[in-house]
Structure 1
Amino acid sequence: MEGERFCVSDPEPSRSESSSATSLSRRHSLSLSGAQPSQMDDDLENECVSEAGDIGDRALQSNRNSFSGSFHYLSAEDVVLPSYGFWCRDRAASSVIPSVSPLPEEILSLSIVVAVRDQDKKQENSNKLPKWLEYGSCMTHLAFFGILGVLTRYLLQKLFAPGTAGVTSDHTILYLDLPSNMVGSFLMGWWGVVFKADISYVSDFLAIGLTTGYLGSLTTFSGWNQKMLELSVEGHWVFALLGFLIGLFLAAYSIIFGIETSRGFRQFLKRCSGSSSASSRKTWRVDSYKRHLAILAVLLLMLGCLWSVSGILMAQEFRSDSSETQLWLACIVGPLGVWIRWFLARLNGRGLGKTGLLKWIPFGTLIANVSAACIMAALATVKKEVNSKTCDIIATGIQFGFLGCLSTVSTFISEFNAMRESRHPWRAYAYAMVTMCPSFGLGTLIYSLPVWVKGYK
């Protein structure tokens, strides 16, 4: 029926419980202060849209009350509140917005949240993880999955490069990182939107590792921007413009395709599993101190092995003049880029200044992408100036590893898609322009102008 509205329980919008609870209490305080409902809805939507990708360590700071992590994503098995346990979707507008309720129901909803949390805290307070251990777990998951993302990106580059499939190239609009950006955006629809609540129910740290760590490192914005700069240096300005447009178009439709296919698969799983799904999920849930420490110990062991093997292979390949040296250096320095991007994500949803100006812009992701693009352009200029084998290996390894992990397309396109489905779809394209134009403009000043002036080849 046209214009019909229906309610679905989270995790379809994939909002974190900490953000939902914070938004609920903020909405309640705004109601008591006399704020208009439309203004409250705009503020909440702006914050939720800009937090569609990640909120960094704010999740640890806001709600430290669980073994499996420090924040939860709502799932079908969670408590359903009268208004805020559901999200209303307008079939005609195809947008997801919070349902609006009168003030008495808001107070009732807030009371239920407080009652449930008080009951949970009595059982969990004695088993809280130390804050340093929570941060250590996040950093370990991010580093381990970040290295896996670097390796996957390298394999996809080689698979579609001219030497094998011949789909991508350094001299066409189908740049080398396009397949990894598309695959990462597609998987973000699965792991970062539809199934993020279910993954978080098992382990919040696993959800962080898969989305921020693996998918954020699998995709790279700085590599995309640098390839367009190189095309512009060669005089192919039309190719550079088309490269940005096609890259954005394919990444945007990759996440849409991922969301649609994962929703269909989710419905298939519900029909097949029935009532046994809840019990099976609880079996795998990391909800005890021993389980948490066991997983952390295993990940630390595997992370140490990855770093050790990368260091040994880097030394061997460097002596044998192999191009693989850059890959192993990238695996060593890649986690540093993931960690910085995760900490910058705390700026998402906060806006500028005390008033929270432009709260709908995820400034953490924006800063990570633009800064990584500028540093990558600077290193490319250094390679042209120094023109030595050692400099090329070190600079390329840092570009592929550190800067490739510092910048991300999967998170960027998740935020873009959330803005496109909001009540202000123009913000998605404004956000894309704010990200791409400064990156390309500053990259032209840092890389293209020196190449033109000094005549580098």
Structure 2
Amino acid sequence: MANDDNEDEAYQNPESSSDPTETGHCGSSTNNPNKDLIDAPASGDDSSSNKIPIHHIHKWNWLHIFYLSTFSIFGITIRAFMGRFFGGDCDADATVPINDWLTPISRHVCVTTSGRTDQYGGALFIDLPANMFGSLIMGFVTGHSTDWPVLAVLKHDHPLQNEDGLHLGLKTALCGTITTFSSWNAQMVLMMDGTGTVLGSQVIAALFGYVLGLQVSISCFRAGRTLAAWFHLKNNPHIFDSVRFIAEDHTSVRMAETTQLKGTHLWNARILPSILASALFILFVLGDFYWGIEYYRQLWISCLFGPFGAIIRWKLSTFNGKMNQWIPIGTFISNFVASAISAFISAIVISSTLNTSFWTLHSLKAISLGFAGCLSTVSSMVKEVVEITDKNPHFDKRHLCIHMGQ
């Protein structure tokens, strides 16, 4: 059940029925008293090999909301500072220059570009490094099989392997908010249109940006799965013996899921993340009002809006696979709506006059960075692309066209 809170478990995974580990498991579950916890019975549109019923996965739970909210703040922070470090601080048209601890370093990197300045190379969009990093982590916590423990750096019987809320926070909130489809798409549209840019229309660069962004993210996701396999080979070598792992591990681990986290594990899983998230928020507020760095106003407002985007995306993921098993409609809706919001805000910011208050501009940018950035995701999208096309290559072109059509 450690993997059951992943947002993408809710749609029918065509890979599941042909997974060797699933075959071995089904073959050994005839007299298994916990079979109803492992293979949910097929009924209607949900006739897949999901581990538990969908309504159990996506029921409202305060612990799930806590993890989604907390880890979305981490994701926003990582994405914002990675964007600045790899190229955001090199934009010559910055309305208000940012002078903080990162500026002396980031001014000498300049790998990516926003597409608005006289710097060429807009295909390497601002959020490309963040999308790569988030996809890598998603691959690492996903692994090659849903039967694998989520945390490859820990033993399979570690108490944190049973903390479903933590797994949800890592996959849906952290990976989903580090990566963003909305700002990526907004930058490509801006480059193709050419409004408010120094170089004018950059159609070829934007098209390359779409292809490059998708392929690099997929490669990073696959690299993350490979990295997880290496760690599991060291920490949990028995999982590669599927028959023994399923026979011995499913019963013991799933029976232990009812136990409560205590002591150090409770501190690591729940208390420490809440302290870190609160500390980040306070630092952003201090950066705005005490140190007078207006950029941090955008960050602390983003931290207020971001959790709502992550929670809405999590709930929308229940629609994945409802129409067709190769269309994750929930992820599509999330990315489509977030892209529309981000593009609308970008148009307002570009056309705004000098008389527009900083509060208004930073609030709009915060909605784009926080709410729209967390509502959209690249890591879940590439996970769906890889998992669906690995076992169903004929879905590949259709699935990619659906996502890129956003």
Answer yes or no: same fold by TM over 0.5.
yes
2:373 equivalent to 1:404 = yes
- Give the 5 Å matches for 1:217-256: 217-234=177-194, 235-256=201-222
Shift of 1:100: 9.8
Which residue among 76, 79, 87 is the counterpart of 2:19?
Answer: 87
2:141 equivalent to 1:173 = no
Other-structure match for 2:259: 288
Shift of 1:289: 3.7
1:334–1:404: 8 Å Cα contact kept in structure 2? yes
CA distance in 2, matches of 1:115, 1:264: 30
CA distance in 2, matches of 1:115, 1:434: 36
233-242 or 197-206, which deviates more: 197-206
**Stretches of structure 1 lacking an aligned partner (at least 5 in a row):** 1-9, 23-45, 53-83, 90-97, 119-129, 352-357, 440-457
Residues 309/195 of structure 1: CA separation in 2 closer, same or farther (3 Å cut): farther
Residues 113/409 of structure 1: CA separation in 2 closer, same or farther (3 Å cut): farther
Q: Deviations over 1:93-125 (max 9, x none)?
A: xxxxx6499xxx87x83552557869xxxxxxx
Residues 214/350 of structure 1: CA separation in 2 closer, same or farther (3 Å cut): same
Which of the pair has more CA radius of gyration?
1
Shift of 1:349: 2.4
2:314 equivalent to 1:342 = yes
Which residue among 130, 153, 157 is the counterpart of 2:79?
Answer: 153
2:29 equivalent to 1:109 = yes
- Give the 5 Å matches for 1:12-411: 47-49=12-14, 87-88=19-20, 99=23, 109=29, 111-114=31-34, 135-161=61-87, 162=90, 163-171=107-115, 172-194=122-144, 197-199=148-150, 201-234=161-194, 235-270=201-236, 287-289=258-260, 291=262, 296=270, 299-300=273-274, 302-316=276-290, 320=292, 322-351=294-323, 358-387=324-353, 388=356, 389-411=358-380
Q: Deviations over 1:23-71 (max 9, x none)?
A: xxxxxxxxxxxxxxxxxxxxxxx81149x9xxxxxxxxxxxxxxxxxxx
Residues 133/109 of structure 1: CA separation in 2 closer, same or farther (3 Å cut): closer
**Aligned AA (2:143):** V
2:284–2:297: 8 Å Cα contact kept in structure 1? no
CA distance in 1, matches of 2:259, 2:278: 24
2:387 equivalent to 1:418 = yes
Q: Deviations over 1:294-340 (max 9, x none)?
A: 654555555445444444544446xx362232122212211111111
2:404 equivalent to 1:433 = no
1:15–1:48: 8 Å Cα contact kept in structure 2? no
Q: Provide runs of 4+ in structure 1 moved above 6 Å.
A: 14-17, 130-134, 272-275
**Aligned AA (2:108):** T
* 1:421 counterpart SS class: helix
Identity of aligned residues (%): 24
CA distance in 1, matches of 2:161, 2:136: 22
CA distance in 2, matches of 1:272, 1:224: 41
1:310–1:332: 8 Å Cα contact kept in structure 2? no
| Alignment: residue pair count | 333
CA RMSD in angstroms comes to 4.1
CA distance in 2, matches of 1:214, 1:265: 20
TM-score, normalised to structure 1, is: 0.63
Residues 337/315 of structure 1: CA separation in 2 closer, same or farther (3 Å cut): farther
2:285–2:296: 8 Å Cα contact kept in structure 1? no
2:5–2:58: 8 Å Cα contact kept in structure 1? no
